[in-house]
Amino acid sequence: MNRNLPKPAPLLRRLPLLLLPLALFAACSVLAQAPGAASAAAPPAVEMADSLRADGKIWVVAGVFAIVMLGMLVYLLRLESKVGKLEKRMRNEE
C-alpha cells in the first residue's frame, strides 16, 4: 500500500523554496531603506511604523491579505479533509 504514496521531496530540492522568502525579505528591506525611499519628513527619535499604522491604513492591506490567505487556507483544508476521507475508504477496502 505504501508504494502508492508519493515520496517526499528530498530536503535539498526544497531548500531553494525555503530560502526564497528569506532572500526576498532581505532584498526588499535593503530597497525600502535606500536613501530617499520614504524619508520626506524628519525622522522622530525612535523610528517605528506608528504613524504608518495610524494614518497610512497599512492595516487595511494586512486585513485584505489575511482575507485572501484565510480563504485559500479554508479551501485547502477542505480538500485535505476530503482526501483524508478518501484515504480512509481506500484502507477499508483493502
3-state secondary structure of 17: helix
Does residue 52 contact residue 61 with C-beta atoms inside 8 Å? no
| Torsion angles phi and psi, residue 54, rounded to 5 | -75, -50
Residue identified by cell 480538500 is: 79
Residues 8-67 touching other proteins, rule: CB under 8 A, are 9, 17, 20-21, 24-25, 28-29, 31-32, 37-38, 52, 55-58, 60-61, 63-65, 67
Binding positions for other proteins, rule: CB under 8 A: 9, 17, 20-21, 24-25, 28-29, 31-32, 37-38, 52, 55-58, 60-61, 63-65, 67-68, 71-72, 75-76, 79, 82-83, 86, 89-90, 93
